[in-house]
Amino acid sequence: MAECKAYGCTNNKRRNRGKHFFCVPRPIDSTRLELAKRWLHNIGTSYTIQTFPFGRNSVVCEDHFKPTCYKRNLQAELLGTKPLCRLKADAVPTEFGHKKSVPPTPITTKMESFVPCANINIS
Ligand SMILES: [Zn+2]
């Protein structure tokens, strides 16, 4: 069963026929490896790049992509049909109900970077 792999999402191809589902990019080169890592990080799965079952059934549904992630389909726009069907090459899922937004990088406050000035010799 091709079910959306995003954490907390229960959409699947059989029940949600009107929705588009996108395969998680396979890490076939270094660019796609980075992209695949970002997808896996964002969808909140416990899989890693080594354990994720890449394939036709490992999909993410359209709910997790911003409209700007999609390629424009002028034919569909002119015909008035649903244009959201192709993702841009660098599109990453960022829209999730289970968390408000995905920060680009985790913000850490490191106290160890604070160096006391005890060794300064004032003479
Ligand atoms: Zn989903």
- What are the tens digits of pLDDT across the range 104-114? 555 455 555 55
Question: Cα(4)–Cα(98) distance, rounded to whole angstroms?
Answer: 14
Question: Cα(96)–Cα(79) distance, rounded to whole angstroms?
Answer: 30
pLDDT of 106: 52
**Closest alpha carbon to 39 in 120, 111, 102:** 102
Question: Cα(69)–Cα(89) distance, rounded to whole angstroms?
Answer: 9
Using the mean position of ligand 1's atoms as its centre, give its distance from the Cα of residue 111 in Å: 38
Using the mean position of ligand 1's atoms as its centre, give its distance from the Cα of residue 95 in Å: 9
pTM tops 0.75, yes or no:
no
Using the mean position of ligand 1's atoms as its centre, give its distance from the Cα of residue 62 in Å: 7
| pLDDT, tens only, 43-98 | 998 899 999 999 999 999 999 999 899 888 888 888 887 665 789 999 999 999 75
- Strands 3-4 and 58-61, sheet pairing: parallel
pLDDT of 77: 82
Question: Cα(6)–Cα(98) distance, rounded to whole angstroms?
Answer: 9
